[in-house]
Structure 1
Amino acid sequence: MHNEITKALETLKKGGLILYPTDTVWGIGCDATNPEAIDAVFKLKQRDDSKALLCLVNDFKMLNEFVEEVPEVAYDILKYAAKPTTIIYDDPIRVAENLVAKDNTLAIRVAKDDFCKQLIRKFRRPIISTSANISGAPTPKSFKEISTQILEGVDYVVNLHQSKKAEKPSAIIKLTKDGKVTVIRK
């Protein structure tokens, strides 16, 4: 795993795109603070840039570095969640502007996958995580289902867990500063 982290890290530092296993599905990733890399993800996915992407952080400390004010209830939600859970926060900070939704929100998940946690910790910045498919196409349930277009469109494919079946996409919850909770996807 160490070698794969090193190669993925080199790619991210150069502004490149990686294809990597997450705690949910295979994802396309890049530096969440690099607007050109984020544009490349939108282009590869053929996705309208008005559709927001999510990013991964490795722990609560990093979460606090990229959200102006994390509501207290977020910690309880994440602590007791039975499955990977992405939370949409108000007022993200220190990320690329083209990552932030028009309503000044950003979807962030604290990674549970060991590879992701180690990669993000060493990179010291959040990374994008968006499903490895062209926009509108089904989310691949395994590495074998990822299209050639995606495989050839990234700069590095992580050579781990390629035989593992993907988990379901994460739950998504929108959480406003005043503590209002809205379930977007169970």
Structure 2
Amino acid sequence: MAELELVLQALQQGGVIAYPTEAVYGLGCDPDNEAAVLALLAIKQRPVEKGLILIAANYSQLLRYVDDKAIPPGKRYQIFSSWPGHISWVLPASKTAPKWITGQFNTIAVRVSAHPVVQQLCSAYGKPLVSTSANLSGQPAITDKVVLQQSLGDKLSAIMPGPLGGATQPSQIRDAISGDIVRS
């Protein structure tokens, strides 16, 4: 529990953390803290225009970022029946969703994770976290904790302990409106 408290403190202080997800280690921070998000993007060497995924313990944590009323009724079952799970959905963004999360888009990618560590972290923090693979942009995602420590450890405020889930690939990303697969 002490490790969880350190990670939560790092998040509250605007730090960038790493944590295990379904398939790879993720980098995360408070999505409402612009300086934290920009620090995360600097670590990854990723442009803000590309947008970021939010990961949550439940859909209600995402409601302030998603324009729920703009999700077509016919698409809702497919989205919500896939969660908690390993699919991220691109949904219409709310007017209050930060541009440093949505990037150049009027949509936002979100996922309700079934990973117990992600569930614990988002529940304890009380909100979603930014979720992007722990690696430099264009490099392979990190699946080994030693590699994570060696390559990014000095740039992170904390690392949440725990095993990776059993998935072999990062989450699939699907566009909720078109049904297109954005990332398989």
Give the structure 1 partner of residue 29 of structure 2: 30
In percent, how many aligned pairs have the same letter? Answer: 26
Q: Name 1:57's counterpart in structure 2.
A: 56
Give the aligned residue type for 2:49.
Answer: S
1:78-136 Cα shifts (integer Å, max 9, x gaps)? 41479600001112354432111312111111111112112112212210111110111
Matches within 5 A, 1:1-150: 2-69=1-68, 71=71, 72=73, 73-80=75-82, 84-146=86-148, 148-150=150-152
Q: CA separation in 2, counterparts of 1:95 and 1:43?
A: 21
- Is the alpha carbon distance of 1:159 and 1:143 closer, same or farther for their aligned partners in structure 2, counting shifts above 3 Å? same
Counterpart of 1:184, as a letter, is: V
1:183 — aligned with what? Answer: 181
User: 1:127 corresponds to which letter in structure 2?
Assistant: L
Separation in 1 of the partners of 2:41 and 2:143? 21
Amino acid at match of 1:36: A
The residue type paired with residue 185 of structure 1 is R
CA distance in 1, matches of 2:22, 2:2: 20
TM-score by length of 1: 0.86
Once residues 132 and 92 of structure 1 are traced to their aligned partners in structure 2, the CA distance between those partners, rounded to angstroms, is 27
RMSD of the TM alignment (CA)? Answer: 2.3
Deviations 1:49-104 (A, max 9, x none): 22221111111222333212262424433414796000011123544321113121
Per the normalisation by structure 2, the TM-score is 0.86
Tell me how far apart the structure 2 counterparts of residues 81 and 59 of structure 1 sit (CA, whole Å). Answer: 8
Question: d(CA) in 1 for partners of 2:36 and 2:4?
Answer: 19
AA of the residue aligned to 2:182: I
Aligned to 1:167: 168
Give the length in aligned residue pairs: 181
Report the 3-state secondary structure (helix = DSSP H, G, I; strand = E; otherwise coil) of the residue aligned with 2:63.
helix
Give the unaligned 5+ runs of structure 1: none
Secondary structure in 1 matching 2:138: coil
Moved more, 11-20 or 46-55: 46-55
Q: Which runs of 5+ in 2 are unaligned?
A: none
SS of the residue 2:18 aligns to: strand
CA contact under 8 A between 1:16 and 1:155: conserved in structure 2? yes
Q: In structure 1, what is the Cα distance between the partners aligned to 2:82 and 2:55?
A: 18
SS of the equivalent of 1:50 reads: helix
Aligned 8 A contact 1:35 1:97 in 2: no
Classify 1:11/1:81 alpha carbon distance in 2 versus 1 (closer, same or farther; 3 Å).
Answer: closer
